[in-house]
Amino acid sequence: MNCFVYVIGTNADHDPRTYVGWTTDLARRLEEHNTRTGAKSTRGRAWVLLYAERYQTRGEAMSREWHLKRDRAFRKALRQG
């Protein structure tokens, strides 16, 4: 099974934000975030995919997600660039 770790971003109201998650279907998950059926913290904003990585197992993806959520410098670099 392919699992993906992703970073999405928004610049709504000049308030740049990122969100890190994991999924087995990137397109479906991005659509969920943009149609208000995704995570509660992403509702009401227009999100774009900034970064994604592919993993073979759910455990690998979840571990990487944990690390990316704590890497604020990496997420800030994605927003700027």
**What is the pLDDT tens value at each position of the chain, 81 positions in all?**
899 999 999 876 677 889 999 999 999 999 999 987 777 788 888 899 999 999 999 999 999 999 999 999 999 999 876
Q: The domain spanning residue 55 has which CATH number?
A: 3.40.1440
Number of folded domains in the chain? 1
Beta bridge partners of 23: 4
Which pLDDT belongs to residue 81?
A: 65
Q: Which residues pair with 8 in a beta bridge?
A: 19, 49
Alpha-carbon distances, residue 66 vs 6, 13, 62, 74 (angstroms): 11, 28, 6, 13
- d(CA 62, CA 77) in angstroms, rounded, equals 22
CA distance 53 to 68: 11
In the block, residue with structure tokens 């992403």: 42
Q: Tokens 């990585």 identify what position?
A: 53
pTM as predicted: 0.90
User: Which structural domain range is residue 13 located in?
Assistant: 3-80
Structure tokens at 70: 């704590």
